[in-house]
Amino acid sequence: MIIPLSSLKIGMDGIIVRLEFDENVKERFIAMGLIPGKKIIYIHESPFGDPMVFKIDDNKIMIRKNEAQKIFVEVTNEIFSLDEASPGQYEIFFIKGGIFFKKDMESLNLYVGKQINVLNNHRGKVTITINGKQIIFGKGRAKKILLKKE
Within 10 angstroms of residue 75's Cβ, the number of other Cβ atoms is: 16
Taking only the tens place, the pLDDT of each residue in 84-130 is 999 999 999 889 888 999 999 999 999 999 999 999 999 889 999 98
Decide: pTM greater than 0.75: no
Sign, Cα dihedral of 2, 120, 143, 43: negative
Give me the mean pLDDT over the 38-50 stretch. 88
Sign, Cα dihedral of 24, 26, 32, 35: negative
Print the SS3 string covering 30-95. Answer: HHCCCCCCCEEEEEEECCCCCCEEEEECCEEEEECHHHHCCEEEECCCCEEEHHHCCCEEEEEEEE
